[in-house]
Chains A and B, each alone.
Chain A
Amino acid sequence: MTDRLSGPALPARFERPPVLAFIGYVLGLALIAWCLAGAGFSLDKVMSSPPRFADFLSRAFPPNLSPDVLARLGWKMVETLQIAVAGAVLGVIVSLPVAMLAARGLIAGPAVNQAVRITLSFIRAVPDIAWALVFVVAVGLGPFAGMLAILVDTLGFCGRFFADDMEAADKGPAEALSATGARRIDIAACATIPAALPAFVSTSLFALEKAVRSSTILGLVGAGGIGIELKVGFDLFDYPTALTVILMIAVVVIAIEHLSGLARTRIIGEQR
């Protein structure tokens, strides 16, 4: 009956962290401070930037909406989207066989899986703009270099995630076919890929969004698309045109993200 009198103790509101965790927090904060210092973080500049930013806006505003500029930029935007779509579609197509080699236990042995995955990591580690520079050297200035950069960038992204999608797919149908003596390639084609298809669609749409975002800046290094207009605008202090380019990119990227979201729910929502 003594239990009743004392009753259960309420837990403390805050737990005292263990010493090691406390040291960890302090080290974490120190690391962030160190990074801010390395990045040249300066309150003075933060305080003084709004007037300068306002100055840029006042010189850029209103954006240049004259019909000939809009037409020129519009066509550049179309080229940008062509680069993005062509690169992303080819990238997705190339990714499928590569991902099949990267997926563990699908058609290739562990050594091949590992080699392909390391190669894909390397492709992803190199930024898209660096690929664009490489392809400008390889195939010359222009949209084709940009398309190749997007293709390779998409391969790095989709190759890895398609492989993960196939590894995560329901193993049941694959087991059923393997029990009938089907070959690995037949099992992949008939059970694993159909099971991973909705995930593929979702990954591909993300790749397209990523490609559209990338393609808008590839022009900075001469790989085609609207990026060149941005660079020229800033280089010539033609801020109103530069602002038009920025707004145009924002509108198109947001629109593509929205459309891709709609497509995702339509395709996967229906197919479950």
Chain B
Amino acid sequence: MPSGVPVPPVDIEAEGLTKQFGDTPIFSGVSFRLERGGAVALVGANGVGKSTLLRCIMGVIPLTEGRVALLGQDTGGLSAMAQRRLRARVGFVAQKHNLVPRLSVLSNVIHGLLGQRGGVRHWSQAMAPAASRQAALEALEAVGLAHLAQRRADRLSGGQSQRVAIARAIVAQPEVLFADEPCASLDPAAGEDVMDLFMRLARERTVTVVFTSHNIDHALRYGDRVLGLAGGALRLDATAGSLAPADLRGLYD
């Protein structure tokens, strides 16, 4: 390798990932590497194990076999403390926004800081330090919802809720963002907006992204790379630019 050329750090390195629930195999032998700032789309039919694979990469679900290095750390065998420290450097947006309904939007976003700054003061916006409140407001501004900071989270529309969930995921300035079907529960227009916003924020911050989607269009548009899961194995690993929608349709047969 010629010296002088900066080599982007590898944020995610997955080797031979295998997962079984009991005797039921979900996937086996999944390997890939992902460099800083890249975006990977995990695609595949319903129930093929996209979400499970995502959670295994995050280290939330233990793997049956294989290893994942996330931000240079092996996720297997970490102490509870080390695991929390690692998770504090990643953000996660789920299919359901999973906001706490009775709390304000601002409190919900401040909760995104709990991994880095735990403790009573971050339980509610009313007690939070000024810097945390400011960071949360800036995250809300980034998703265009600063004006709703005081609104209760259960009084938001689906698209707004998901944008607040994105604000909560980015408020702690994560190095890696995971998203599990972030717009699957939204109508197509709102889903488009959310996906657009999510990827724009990730790109602006040079954050590495892994997202699952059943939407071929999203996978090709927002992913640099597309990983296709079918029949319990990786059937596709290609740059998005080299793929046409037809190439992906085979995964859904």
**Residues of chain A having any CB pair with chain B under 8 Å:** 172-173, 175-183, 185-187, 189-191, 194-195, 197, 271-272
CB proximity of B27 to chain A, nearest CB, Å: 21
Q: Which residue of B lies closest to A272 (CB)?
A: B154
B197 within 8 A of A: no
- A172-B94, A176-B92, A176-B94 known; A182 and B101 CB under 8 Å? no
- Cα–Cα distance between A211 and B188 once the two chains are bound (Å): 53
Asked if A172 and B98 sit within 8 Å, CB to CB, the answer is yes
- Cα–Cα distance between A271 and B153 once the two chains are bound (Å): 12
Question: Contacts of A197 on B, CB cut-off 8 Å?
Answer: 102
Asked if A175 and B98 sit within 8 Å, CB to CB, the answer is yes
Question: Contacts of A179 on B, CB cut-off 8 Å?
Answer: 58, 60, 87, 90, 92, 178
Cβ-defined partner of B100 (8 Å) among A185, A186, A195: A195
Question: Contacts of A181 on B, CB cut-off 8 Å?
Answer: 83-89, 114-116
Question: Contacts of B145 on A, CB cut-off 8 Å?
Answer: none
* 6 additional contacts (CB under 8 A) given A180-B169, A181-B89: A172-B94, A173-B98, A173-B99, A176-B94, A176-B98, A191-B100
Cβ-defined partner of A180 (8 Å) among B96, B100, B112, B119: B112
A-B contact pairs, 9 of them (CB 8 A): A172-B98, A179-B178, A180-B92, A181-B88, A189-B120, A190-B107, A190-B122, A191-B111, A272-B101
Cβ-defined partner of A183 (8 Å) among B91, B111, B118: B118
- Cα–Cα distance between A32 and B148 once the two chains are bound (Å): 63
- Cα–Cα distance between A105 and B172 once the two chains are bound (Å): 26
Question: Contacts of A183 on B, CB cut-off 8 Å?
Answer: 84, 114, 118
- A173-B98, A179-B87, A181-B84 known; A186 and B118 CB under 8 Å? yes
- A172-B98, A173-B99, A189-B123 known; A180 and B172 CB under 8 Å? yes
CB proximity of A166 to chain B, nearest CB, Å: 14
**Residues of chain B having any CB pair with chain A under 8 Å:** 58, 60, 83-92, 94, 96, 98-103, 107, 111-112, 114-116, 118-120, 122-123, 154, 165, 168-169, 172, 178
Closest 9 pairs (CB-CB, A-B): A181-B115, A181-B87, A182-B114, A181-B88, A172-B98, A179-B92, A180-B115, A176-B98, A181-B84
- Cα–Cα distance between A172 and B180 once the two chains are bound (Å): 13
- Cα–Cα distance between A157 and B100 once the two chains are bound (Å): 26
- A194-B102, A272-B154 known; A177 and B60 CB under 8 Å? no
Asked if A180 and B91 sit within 8 Å, CB to CB, the answer is yes
- Cα–Cα distance between A191 and B165 once the two chains are bound (Å): 14
Question: Contacts of A272 on B, CB cut-off 8 Å?
Answer: 101, 154
- Cα–Cα distance between A83 and B115 once the two chains are bound (Å): 43
Q: Which residue of A lies closest to B99 (CB)?
A: A173
Question: Contacts of A172 on B, CB cut-off 8 Å?
Answer: 94, 96, 98
Asked if A177 and B114 sit within 8 Å, CB to CB, the answer is yes
Question: Contacts of B119 on A, CB cut-off 8 Å?
Answer: 186
Question: Contacts of B111 on A, CB cut-off 8 Å?
Answer: 177, 180, 182, 190-191
Q: Which residue of A lies closest to B92 (CB)?
A: A179
Asked if B114 and A180 sit within 8 Å, CB to CB, the answer is yes
Q: Which residue of A lies closest to B113 (CB)?
A: A180
Asked if B123 and A180 sit within 8 Å, CB to CB, the answer is no
CB proximity of A94 to chain B, nearest CB, Å: 20
Asked if A194 and B100 sit within 8 Å, CB to CB, the answer is yes
Question: Contacts of B94 on A, CB cut-off 8 Å?
Answer: 172, 175-176
Q: Which residue of B lies closest to A198 (CB)?
A: B102
Question: Contacts of A187 on B, CB cut-off 8 Å?
Answer: 114
CB proximity of A12 to chain B, nearest CB, Å: 42
- Cα–Cα distance between A173 and B178 once the two chains are bound (Å): 16
Q: Which residue of B lies closest to A180 (CB)?
A: B115
- Cα–Cα distance between A50 and B92 once the two chains are bound (Å): 71
CB proximity of A102 to chain B, nearest CB, Å: 21
Q: Which residue of A lies closest to B115 (CB)?
A: A181
Question: Contacts of B101 on A, CB cut-off 8 Å?
Answer: 194-195, 272
CB proximity of A51 to chain B, nearest CB, Å: 59
- Cα–Cα distance between A151 and B122 once the two chains are bound (Å): 32
Question: Contacts of B87 on A, CB cut-off 8 Å?
Answer: 178-181
Question: Contacts of A186 on B, CB cut-off 8 Å?
Answer: 114, 118-119, 122-123
In this complex, which of A172, A177, A272 has the most chain B Cβ atoms within 10 angstroms of its Cβ? A177
Asked if A178 and B60 sit within 8 Å, CB to CB, the answer is yes
- Cα–Cα distance between A187 and B112 once the two chains are bound (Å): 11
Question: Contacts of A195 on B, CB cut-off 8 Å?
Answer: 100-101
